[in-house]
Amino acid sequence: MTDQAPQAPAEDAAAPEIPGKPTSASRTTLSHIMTHNDTNLLGTVHGGVIMKLVDDAAGAVAGRHSGGPAVTASMDEMAFLEPVRVGDLVHVKAQVNWTGRTSMEVGVRVLAERWNESAPPTQVGSAYLVFAAVDADGKPRAVPPVLPETERDRRRHQEARIRRTHRLARRRAIMELRERRAAEGFAD
């Protein structure tokens, strides 16, 4: 007989902490020239085309940061600030602003410039997307913490935490309203 205490099974051990990654490690820019195929009935670039570019760039950033597959969980605050025209060179800049255990908020800025002019690009849109990292079975998996590097990164991280608080509060309020209505006999 020994005096040693029994060891806990491996599955009871705390999961190892994933080392953080700096914001710059996954930051990316996707550029695309707009053609007639991208236009809506008004002759400007369709918002859905811009949204797809935003989702593509954000997905690349989320996959890079998490080290594997990540899926779009939500998109909020998509703002179209200026119209985009045929012949504009669109730059979609994305970075991870905040990370949770399995999710990430990716901030995206959309810039446009005329393909044949040397004027600086104009910001034409912005969006915030939440991605969830998933494993091969589609189950959530842990992501590395994001490590803000600059004052701008730290501001974006703080703002992302505020947006997360608002998203969770909005979801909670909606669920409470639905439960109240169901208890009152209203069917949806």
Ramachandran quadrant class, 43 (left: phi over 0; alpha: psi -120 to 50; beta: rest) = left
171: three-class secondary structure by DSSP: helix
| More confident: 77 or 64 | 64
The pLDDT, as a whole number, for residue 17 is 84
pLDDT band with cut points at 50, 70 and 90 for residue 11 = very low
Count of H helices and E strands in the chain? 2, 7
| C-beta atoms surrounding 178 within 10 Å | 12
The pLDDT, as a whole number, for residue 15 is 52
Sequence-distant contacts of 47-50: CB under 8 A, at least 24 apart: 47/80, 50/80, 50/84, 50/90, 50/110, 50/124, 50/125
pLDDT tens for residues 14-73?
A: 456 899 999 999 999 999 999 999 999 998 999 999 999 999 999 999 999 999 999 999
Are the C-beta atoms of 97 and 48 separated by less than 8 Å? no
The pLDDT, as a whole number, for residue 187 is 79
Tell me: pLDDT of 118 over 60. Answer: yes
Residue type, 84: V
pLDDT band with cut points at 50, 70 and 90 for residue 92 = very high
pLDDT band with cut points at 50, 70 and 90 for residue 9 = very low
39: three-class secondary structure by DSSP: strand
Q: Which two tokens stand for residue 94?
A: 């994305």
Radius of gyration of the chain, Cα coordinates, nearest whole angstrom: 21
Q: What is the DSSP letter of 150?
A: S
The pLDDT, as a whole number, for residue 3 is 43
Tell me: pLDDT of 8 over 50. Answer: no
Are the C-beta atoms of 36 and 87 separated by less than 8 Å? no
pLDDT tens for residues 119-142?
A: 999 999 999 999 999 999 999 999
